[in-house]
Amino acid sequence: MAKLIPAAEKITRARKLIQQAREFPVPAEMGKNNLSYIAGVRDLLRQARDLTKFIPQTVGLSAELKEDVKRLFEEIAEADREILR
């Protein structure tokens, strides 16, 4: 059976994934237009989103934690715009 990860830990892990996406090495060949670079960055951001996407629907969590997830989704969208555009 899968180990349950607390919501706060999921948020921490998602922020680490966002940071990894920001630090993903830009290849010398074609720069940010390299498809493997784009795929790598999008995969890290997707993992961060998937890790936390069900937290807002979870019953029994504080509104504060749910707001933190909403801010995290905004961070993911902002990181996508900053990194790939």
Is-contact 64 51, C-beta < 8 A?
no
The pTM for the full model equals: 0.92
Residue recorded with tokens 């390299």: 34
Rounded to whole angstroms, the Cα distance separating 49 from 76 reads 7
pLDDT tens readout for residues 9-63: 999 999 999 999 999 999 999 999 999 999 999 999 999 999 999 999 999 889 9
